[in-house]
Amino acid sequence: MKPNNNLKTNNMKTLNKFKFLLVALISLSSFGMANAQCQASYTYTDNGAGNFSFTNTSVGNFLSYSWTFGDGNSSNTNNAQHQFTTNGNYAVCLTIFDSINQCTDTYCDSIWVTGSGTPCNITASFNFIDNGGGNYSFNNNSTGSGTDSYWYFGDGGSSNSTSPSHTFAANGIYTIQLYIADPLDSNCYDYVVQTINVSGVSNPVPCQAGFVIFPDSSVSGNVIVINSSTGNNLTYFWDFGDGNTSTLAYPNYTYSTNGPFQICLTVSNGNGCTSTYCDSINSGGIVLKQSGFTINIQAPALTDIKNEIDLISELNTYPNPVKNNLTIELNLTENTQIEIVATDLIGNIVAKIINESMTIGINTIQWNVNNLPNGVYLLNIKSNNSIKTKKLVINK
């Protein structure tokens, strides 16, 4: 039987700015299994500049159609074409009605819109300072229209302060996650993740369950979960919220429906310490596929260094999204060694761009991205034991 003591639940991740996406998918998904005599489905084509064509592939007789595009607009045509005016993630749903069999079915899918007329200009970024004893100060360096900040520290702790401090109760590797959102535009948001190696905690707790959740940029609709639990000789019990469980530390699991689900992790060290942490599997605005999705649970990848004096007074990267060549501009306050690497969203290095001494003032680096597939990456710029992180979208 799964132990349930020391239960901690993080409710802050059910963010208001994302609720419209979750409600749309939750409330309509039940129709998809109502009657096998009709079945809604569609495919879509990204025409660029925010314009999409939707091709109806539904099955049924004498059908009527209702499209909703997730931005307040709708259509009743067989096939649809829609112009999105704001970049972001949208839940597009098609509802069909079969007048012969009196059958109704709905199919929803999520699409990512880039290049529309009103771009989202938020770039999430932060650095941190190790104050000793497990206490860290996090400095929010994000830019753009986002004023709402949501921090997740990988140990079950969270904050909505702009630049919070946080004390870890145990030594270990933690994945830190920062979401930035525009309160006036629910489709405009950005997030960034970094890992830190916490040490120097006096009297650490013997075990602590914790994980963070974010989208898998390589597989649309899937989810990455970073297991940041700490302790020695731990056993693991994952409850996926649909009746299925696992005792592996890093299992992969595929759901049969779109959710939502509450996922819980319980760890025990076999010496009297048990800890449980729970969170919603579609928190943070992740739009899940109608046909189910896969979670990939992984260990944190350590990519950070301790943040100290920052010698980079200004950092610009353009164009972003990038097709071929990316320009990186650094304004340095003194001569220093600069190392720039690109990583995926869980910290695995995918490209080593530069590692050389640079002079005070503006320095420009050109980087060709042709060797990397389309997706979302992080640029880590390191100088004098400090680090800046920029999100990069490659879209060829």
Q: What does residue 190 show for φ and ψ, rounded to 5 degrees?
A: -150, 160
Tokens of 171: 């030594």
Q: Is 40 helix (H, G, I), strand (E, B) or coil?
A: coil
Tokens of 46: 């990204």
Identical fold between 34-113 and 122-298: yes
- Cα separation values, 303 from 72, 219, 378, Å: 41, 23, 11
Q: How does pLDDT run along the chain (396 residues), one tens digit per residue?
A: 333 333 333 333 333 333 223 222 322 333 333 445 788 889 998 888 788 999 999 888 877 899 999 888 999 999 999 998 877 778 888 999 888 888 888 888 878 777 666 667 788 888 888 888 899 999 998 888 888 888 989 888 888 899 999 999 888 888 888 888 887 776 677 888 888 888 888 888 899 898 887 766 556 566 778 888 888 899 999 998 889 999 999 888 888 776 678 889 999 999 999 999 887 764 333 433 334 556 666 666 544 433 434 567 677 888 878 888 999 988 888 888 888 998 876 667 889 999 999 998 889 999 999 989 887 788 888 876 566 777 788 877
Q: Which CATH number fits domain 34-113: 1.10.10.10, 1.10.20.10, 3.40.50.150, 2.60.40.10?
A: 2.60.40.10
pTM of model > 0.85: no
Q: How far apart are CA 347 and CA 141, in angstroms?
A: 19
Write down the pLDDT at residue 280: 72
Tokens of 11: 């409710």
Q: How far apart are CA 383 and CA 314, in angstroms?
A: 13
CATH topology of domain 312-394: Immunoglobulin-like (2.60.40)
* 87 in Cβ contact with 118 (< 8 Å): yes
Per CATH, the number for 122-298 is 2.60.40.10
Write down the pLDDT at residue 82: 94
**Domain residue spans of the chain:** 34-113, 122-298, 312-394
Q: What does residue 112 show for φ and ψ, rounded to 5 degrees?
A: -105, 120
Label residue 259 left, alpha or beta by phi (over 0 means left) and psi (-120 to 50 means alpha). Answer: left
Other beta carbons within 10 angstroms of residue 22's beta carbon come to 22
Q: Is 50 helix (H, G, I), strand (E, B) or coil?
A: coil
Q: Residue 28's closest CA among 95, 99, 101?
A: 95
Q: Residue 77's closest CA among 68, 87, 90?
A: 68
**Edge-to-edge strand list for the sheet holding 103-113:** 74-75, 63-68, 88-98, 103-113
